[in-house]
Chains A and B, each alone.
Chain A
């Protein structure tokens, strides 16, 4: 199953990231209470905005005027695979890939809960070669690699991330193939009942900030860049400062029982002895071995030269006898920069018949010197809902499916569920669970208090407890954000002072970009835009690109108060307006620490 079988389309390009990062620290935002932390001032919004700008120089706030938008640009189809390896002949080649999403971290302080809210991903143009993919579920980030690009040590520039979403054919997925063989093949494959739709997976890497790829944490040039931004912000107007990454990706088949948001394939993770920080995904299609190495090999310089580990070998180790069988080898030219960008880090090799049988063993990726770079983690429990929002006082049932070497388990097996502290850095509790006969484990989540609650799954008895924090390669995990009920807020009188002070001021302060569309401090405008505000804050539209607040942190009490205000008769004077990263570490570090390290502190 998966995008690691043909047909498959490759794309590459760039993406901008424009999040507001003011809420990344507790001095500006209380993520448990879902509240902006205001300074003591008569005009708390103005004072907050001033402090957010002050924090640009020396405080790590690199984008107080962010919009949260993430937009692909210069991104196009660059190759196809119809089972005959990488091809450059299809008329779908060079088709533009269009995507605009909203980048939101479920846990604002950390970096392991990123997601993209969006409405549609599009390959090609309407009327021509086209894959139009309306959203089925969010694009989710997993497997953040904290050791990807040691030459780009600037904020999170050292890291790379695997992003994935899947698109159900029952949700309006459309393919206009015309004379494109690969599109025809994808369209034809959708007729198979076992194919649920299409999966898009892409790797984002080489992230740069302040539009300057030469910046490095601590360098004097960073201070100059922050001072320039601060001056712009103080000069007025709308001054976003987006970061940008390179991306390579693939779109292929989404099979039944396959996770929508992350790999359900065989997963090879870096062992403690490896210098690598990212995992690979693999699949054996008949006698063809396909490996997704998009998140694995570091770039060692600004020219994006891939680190050379010599000729790689994929070895299957028999767990019972430790007998080794070499399945395939890949020379450096198969994973160097050119190859990486041509086929999104996906490599393919034929495997002999005898070796195919041995492939049921534990896979290892070895470097030219024989060292084990990656080793397979056989049992993995993948949550069906990677990022979940709940309101305090509600309960939800969560599920995860266990995979054994990329195949859904079809028997009952034990799974350990670790509930973690909000930052994912410590274990709060461990619970022993059991899957059903289909390998699905279920558990109830009672949203008792406002907080961030990560869960880590361990399906393999040999798994180490995540007592060093969530290991983004070894652990599968889900994040739960419980929004406080704020019942008292919903019960106060729906006066403007109450609505602004308890509801709108939070985003009026945190999101100056909102001034472009609506002045949240202006009761007449808020009232005039009442219908639009209600439409955009409707919980039923939570998944939409245009949902407000973008940060998905409006509590039920706040919504109740806002709606009570909006539903009240307009005051007589109201306008009748209709619309109105790091070098290789000598020792592995706590993942929570690594995550936090990517937040600010560039100077």
Chain B
């Protein structure tokens, strides 16, 4: 579970600060999900691929919605990628404890366990088959609680704090029906409801507002290799009995945390593969920042960069490291492309 240290908040500046944290968290969750996704061998693990991909897409939408909220409050979003392994942005972690360190892991039980921890709701259900650990009396707040506090704060703001149509990213080209402009508290409230619902599900219900399993449960299905199924038990659901059909072996033999790997001793092809990934990721971040700044067409260029990153990642995942038995996926490092490097 992620816990935000949430101090007293009361004004517009606090709201902007919280939204910057939210943007960092939404951006920060993407690399671990994408690393696991791209490490799956093409043509395999269709149920897992569809679930991880759907979560990643919704995280991108959440990121854009958070940028829209911050823009609507008159501040400029700046996407600042973090390094992996490392904590997510903001004061994230149990009070007095070690922050949850996010790693880049190839598709595995560990990767899905980490993803569940990221998305875990305040009170994770104790569905039959497997019991999930419950954090005792958290002193910090979950993502859901964080957004609830943000919602309360935004509700208290003056209507004059909201700007109309300021650099909004909308779903005219992508994400129809899910990505919309924020022009006031009502829009922001809807956005927060969507973000929390898709991430954690409704209270006491694993389904989100669209009646699809929330992120935590999509990862749970993969982790348990069982379809989350309606059940007659008091909780209403159980893991299985139908298996999801996960093949943990159909994954590239990728190292974890390529960002902390020394590539200077690796073959030139592996180094070039990393450079291509870095360049594509940098372009993606640059264009997303452009989109959040209201630059026309930037979202379309970001999406193209996203595809370029995928292609570069697939290439990296199939380029052998020294020794010939392992590969490395993208490190998601923000390193602007050098001359002559084409993503």
Residues of A with Cβ closer than 8 Å to B? 14, 16, 65, 71, 73-74, 76, 94-96, 124-129, 178, 210-211, 228, 231-233, 235-242, 244, 515-517, 532, 577-580
Contact = CB atoms under 8 A, between A and B. Distances in A.
11 contacts: A14-B177, A65-B300, A76-B210, A127-B213, A127-B227, A129-B230, A231-B297, A235-B297, A237-B301, A238-B304, A578-B318
B104 interface: no
Given A96-B212, A578-B318, A580-B315, A235 B173 contact: no
B307 interface: yes
B119 interface: no
A517 B307 CA distance: 7
B318 A178 contact: no
B307 A579 contact: no
A125 B173 contact: no
Interface-central residue, A14, A127, A231, A579, by most chain B CB under 10 Å: A127
Contacts of B227: 126-127
B296 interface: yes
A96 B170 contact: no
A236 B177 contact: no
Contacts of A95: 211
Q: Give the 8 A-B residue pairs with the shortest CB-CB distance, closest first.
A: A237-B301, A211-B172, A232-B297, A516-B307, A73-B177, A127-B229, A237-B300, A235-B297
Given A76-B211, A231-B296, A128 B229 contact: yes
Nearest to A13: B177
Q: Which of A65, A125, A231, A517 counts the most chain B CB atoms within 10 A?
A: A125
A14 B171 CA distance: 13
Interface of B: 42, 170, 172-174, 176-178, 207, 210-213, 221, 227-230, 237, 242, 287, 296-298, 300-305, 307, 311, 314-315, 318
A235 B228 CA distance: 44
B315 A577 contact: yes
A580 B310 CA distance: 12
A579 B211 contact: no
B176 A228 contact: no
A11 to B, nearest CB: 12
A242 B176 contact: yes
Nearest to B236: A128
Contact of A71 (B173, B176, B228, B315): B176
Contacts of B172: 210-211, 241-242
A128 B301 contact: no
Contacts of B298: 237
A124 B318 contact: no
B17 to A, nearest CB: 32
A128 B177 contact: no
A76 B211 CA distance: 9
Contacts of A211: 170, 172
A228 B176 CA distance: 19
B301 A516 contact: no
Given A128-B229, A577-B318, A240 B173 contact: yes
A564 to B, nearest CB: 24
Nearest to B311: A517
Contact of B176 (A73, A76, A178, A231): A73
Given A96-B211, A128-B229, A178-B230, A579 B301 contact: no
A421 B43 CA distance: 43
A237 B170 contact: no
Contacts of A74: 177
Contacts of A516: 303-304, 307
Nearest to B226: A127
A125 B213 contact: yes
Contacts of B228: 127
Contacts of B173: 239-242
Contacts of B318: 577-580
Contacts of B300: 65, 232, 235, 237-240
A211 B230 CA distance: 38
Contacts of B213: 125, 127
B301 A235 contact: yes
Contacts of B230: 127-129, 178
A127 B236 CA distance: 11
Contacts of A14: 176-177
Contact of B42 (A125, A239, A244, A579): A579
Given A95-B211, A127-B213, A228 B296 contact: yes
A532 B297 CA distance: 31
B304 A515 contact: yes
Given A124-B211, A579-B42, A237 B287 contact: yes
Nearest to B240: A127
Contacts of A65: 300
A577 B269 CA distance: 11
Contacts of A240: 173-174, 300
A435 to B, nearest CB: 44
Contact of A73 (B170, B178, B237, B315): B178
Contacts of B296: 228, 231-232, 235
Nearest to B229: A127
A71 B211 CA distance: 17
A210 B170 CA distance: 12
Nearest to A129: B230
Given A96-B211, A237-B301, A244-B176, 6 more contacts: A73-B178, A74-B177, A125-B212, A127-B213, A231-B296, A238-B303
Contact of B207 (A128, A232, A241): A128
Nearest to B237: A127
A268 B314 CA distance: 55
A121 to B, nearest CB: 15
Contacts of B174: 240
A211 B177 CA distance: 11
A231 B307 CA distance: 21
A432 to B, nearest CB: 49
